[in-house]
Chains A and B, each alone.
Chain A
């Protein structure tokens, strides 16, 4: 009956099973389905492919993509992936495991999530982190909802318009349907100072969409005085050297773990992170792993504080999220273990050096101005082009570079990670120098 490598059933097996059930045919198992709903005829799908044909199908498609030297960030950063990570994460005990509800046979998953939570706390300076979220933008949206939940009856969340465009888009979506009054502004100090009556929270970027490392001096006090919570959206890789959310006085830290060695992979899967101060622990959405012991006193880890979650609280849960991006949390945990404090600092030095070198070289071409002169940046920066942007982008594409991503203001952004060599940077600058723009 079946003749396919993923299905172990022989004809004899099927006969045995039908007999035990007491039916004559497989069709009889669907006797409760009204006949009009049983699909008739063939599905319009390709016929089965052998493994080698599947491989070839994707190889052909991959050849239709153009792999470019990536000089763009905007929420997805081309950092190097150490070989150890895919080796570890492809172990079937991690890869093919279910959610660790059965903790006695899931200590591997539970332990790495506990390590991930610790590392996220250490990077952000926060007290508690969850087991991870879908991605950075959804983590920001959950933080927005959490601000409303923590401040009861307050419903306005102010967000900086310097957050990444995709973060703002997801915030707007969640706010629209959950009835949160989201105010996007170019000056959060002013918006908070105006004294909006029901301020629940404020969301600001650690590094904004122009690559500028923002100063949030005095902001936390203002927000707290107005009765709200401060949320900072951060790049965890950069947190090794830039001021942490805790140092700015924030209550909640969110962001995307992608910059911790996760491949670009056309935008996913990535992993969101979320951490907060102890005070708000029981309002945190998603899974959380905690330490305890078994009857013999052995250290053990379990999913805990589950009274917040959807499978217990249903519509009263802190969120509808019921999974996390566990395997990618492992990815980042292994990455941070390998990099250590020293590696993370050196990595940022390389990014800083490369981006500043490119920044100055681009200004020297005379084809750009720096609209943010004097502001600190790390690996990403924005320039005002004095030339035709479309032509600029095309010239770069033709030369194999993905660079000069345009912002809504008409600026162009560049990003340099440790993977970009001096030669690549020089080549990119030469393309711009020589192109008739």
Chain B
């Protein structure tokens, strides 16, 4: 990766263009009035150019009106037209292509290398999935259903397939991301209680190991958060849960396997307890990958769940989105499924389409291999590194596990380890999460990484442990081989520069 220090605005030169538009087929030109402008609709506010070069009246099919000139500062008071000049770059097409190509070369992606990124399931993004989307690009979201039969078939297929994989009854595809799915799911939870006239259920239980989005989504949904503790072994403490349950509990949000990568083996008892008190169980699908094809959330007693199609179903992360977070519900919630309208049209159809292609390609034979192979890789890394990284919970893990920093840190933090990994061509793991451990390093390989890649990662992690003993100073200043070094994040937050200002 080489450092490239331009912003598109810095390539701008007045008069250069990068667009290609047809000329006006109606023959209209801005600012030219037709002969009988007196009776055209909407002329009152239109700025009329006084430019003398436009005195020839063209043969307008647009008799009765004209295209406004929209010249900056030519508008009258109360006009609906823009007055301020529009500051956008003026660049040619080749400038644009080269600029963004150069930017891309400062980026790391799944196609570049391995992401051992806990809770984020960065698996390979199949290329065929990108190709099929184009055929559906021209369909307007409000077109009548009889003109979108193919698209409806994709939604129907996905509804059935996801229901089969998860043990839920039906899905809504409106949510555009995992957190959006959580919010939609919690709205359904509230809707369920409200529909039964049970208005006192305003609290939701969230384990202390939960993703930060769980409490945040609950708060946006108007629910109060009650935290249930984890035991020493990393699992939800059933004894701590019991006294929290009551007539004010809307439900519990759980991730299973949890954020430590551990299967919540008391889930049956938890489900019974929560249901007994009148609450519902929400399944956070962020960690669904190891269970895909092995365990179904519906069978464990969950009533509502979301899936992250950009994690478990291989759609590309796109540098942070677009994702898709369909929400599935059990039988008793199906009548409520369409009530929360949480996005503009039909969800992120283009992403749903890619996930559909993934399910078709894997089929029932391979789908059930994804989870076990991911789990195999995670346990393999855990066992291979536990002598040089602190392993707080040594039991079998699912798709991910957590180290609590170096076994012998010598002043080297988890952040230092993560940054040094970048020098060796690996993405960093998720760090300082979950919050249960101070030096958390959360590692999740997926089923699409080869043994050679995983061995290379293990080797580098061992090298870094040796470097920590020998040259800790070098680790504090890592990375050294990336386009930039560690940036000054404090200044960025204290004196925010959030847009480009022409000097």
Shortest distance from the beta carbon of A218 to any chain B beta carbon, whole Å: 10
Q: Tell me, yes or no, whether B466 is within 8 Å of chain A by CB.
A: no
Chain B residues contacting A49 (CB-CB under 8 Å) are 360-361, 363
- Which of B148, B165, B361, B482 has the largest number of chain A CB atoms within 10 A? B361
Q: Tell me, yes or no, whether B333 is within 8 Å of chain A by CB.
A: no
Shortest distance from the beta carbon of A153 to any chain B beta carbon, whole Å: 16
Q: Could you tell me if A324 and B320 are in contact, using CB atoms closer than 8 angstroms? A: yes
Quick one: closest B residue to A343, CB to CB? B19
Q: Could you tell me if B345 and A29 are in contact, using CB atoms closer than 8 angstroms? A: no
Assembly CA distance A169 to B28 (angstroms): 39
Interface string of B419-449 (1 = CB under 8 A from A): 1001000011000010000000000000111
Q: Could you tell me if B373 and A7 are in contact, using CB atoms closer than 8 angstroms? A: yes
The answer to whether A374 and B42 touch (CB under 8 A), given A4-B366, A88-B100, A104-B482, is yes
Q: Could you tell me if A264 and B450 are in contact, using CB atoms closer than 8 angstroms? A: no
Q: Could you tell me if B343 and A137 are in contact, using CB atoms closer than 8 angstroms? A: yes
Q: Could you tell me if B112 and A4 are in contact, using CB atoms closer than 8 angstroms? A: no
Interface string of A12-25 (1 = CB under 8 A from B): 01101110111100
Assembly CA distance A347 to B22 (angstroms): 9
- Those of B172-201 within 8 Å (CB) of chain A: 176-180, 182-183, 186-187, 190
Quick one: closest B residue to A370, CB to CB? B41
Assembly CA distance A322 to B179 (angstroms): 7
Q: Could you tell me if B295 and A320 are in contact, using CB atoms closer than 8 angstroms? A: no
Q: Given B1, B20, B342, which contacts A170 in the complex, CB threshold below 8 Å?
A: B342
Q: Can you show 22 pairs from A to B with CB atoms below 8 A apart?
A: A2-B366, A17-B376, A30-B263, A44-B164, A45-B363, A46-B364, A67-B138, A88-B96, A95-B125, A96-B317, A99-B317, A107-B483, A115-B500, A128-B498, A138-B176, A265-B137, A267-B349, A290-B493, A292-B489, A320-B183, A327-B316, A338-B19
Q: Could you tell me if B148 and A65 are in contact, using CB atoms closer than 8 angstroms? A: yes
Quick one: closest A residue to B301, CB to CB? A37
Q: Tell me, yes or no, whether A240 is within 8 Å of chain B by CB.
A: yes
Q: Given B293, B299, B319, B362, which contacts A100 in the complex, CB threshold below 8 Å?
A: B319
Chain B residues contacting A281 (CB-CB under 8 Å) are 496, 498
Chain B residues contacting A45 (CB-CB under 8 Å) are 161, 164-165, 359, 363-364, 367
Shortest distance from the beta carbon of A90 to any chain B beta carbon, whole Å: 6
Given contacts A93-B109, A121-B499, A352-B67, 7 further A-B contacts (CB under 8 A): A30-B295, A106-B319, A118-B9, A263-B137, A281-B496, A288-B496, A292-B492
Tally B residues with Cβ within 8 Å of A: 203
Interface string of A70-89 (1 = CB under 8 A from B): 10101110100110100110
Q: Tell me, yes or no, whether B21 is within 8 Å of chain A by CB.
A: yes
Interface string of A292-317 (1 = CB under 8 A from B): 11111011111011110011111111
Chain A residues contacting B324 (CB-CB under 8 Å) are 269
Chain B residues contacting A20 (CB-CB under 8 Å) are 380, 383-384
Chain B residues contacting A336 (CB-CB under 8 Å) are 88-89
Assembly CA distance A78 to B140 (angstroms): 8
Chain B residues contacting A9 (CB-CB under 8 Å) are 373, 376, 447, 450-451
Q: Tell me, yes or no, whether A193 is within 8 Å of chain B by CB.
A: no
Chain B residues contacting A134 (CB-CB under 8 Å) are 176-177, 180, 321-322, 343
Q: Tell me, yes or no, whether B128 is within 8 Å of chain A by CB.
A: yes
- Those of A183-218 within 8 Å (CB) of chain B: 213-215, 217
The answer to whether A97 and B41 touch (CB under 8 A), given A55-B132, A266-B139, A291-B497, is no
Q: Tell me, yes or no, whether A151 is within 8 Å of chain B by CB.
A: no
Q: Tell me, yes or no, whether B229 is within 8 Å of chain A by CB.
A: no
Shortest distance from the beta carbon of A236 to any chain B beta carbon, whole Å: 11
Stretch from B77-85, B237-245, B276-284, B402-410 forming part of the interface with A: B77-85
Q: Could you tell me if B372 and A26 are in contact, using CB atoms closer than 8 angstroms? A: yes
Assembly CA distance A63 to B148 (angstroms): 10
Assembly CA distance A347 to B115 (angstroms): 42
- Those of A24-64 within 8 Å (CB) of chain B: 26, 28-34, 36-39, 42-49, 51, 53-55, 57-64
Q: Could you tell me if B212 and A312 are in contact, using CB atoms closer than 8 angstroms? A: yes
Q: Tell me, yes or no, whether A422 is within 8 Å of chain B by CB.
A: yes
Q: Tell me, yes or no, whether A339 is within 8 Å of chain B by CB.
A: yes
Q: Tell me, yes or no, whether A251 is within 8 Å of chain B by CB.
A: no
Assembly CA distance A2 to B94 (angstroms): 45
Q: Could you tell me if B263 and A32 are in contact, using CB atoms closer than 8 angstroms? A: yes
Assembly CA distance A308 to B271 (angstroms): 33
Q: Given A18, A32, A92, A376, which contacts B262 in the complex, CB threshold below 8 Å?
A: A32
Interface string of A270-295 (1 = CB under 8 A from B): 11000000000100000111111111
Q: Given B345, B376, B485, B496, which contacts A290 in the complex, CB threshold below 8 Å?
A: B496
- Which of A100, A134, A342 has the largest number of chain B CB atoms within 10 A? A134
Q: Given B44, B62, B99, B190, which contacts A177 in the complex, CB threshold below 8 Å?
A: B190
Q: Tell me, yes or no, whether A156 is within 8 Å of chain B by CB.
A: no
Q: Tell me, yes or no, whether B268 is within 8 Å of chain A by CB.
A: yes
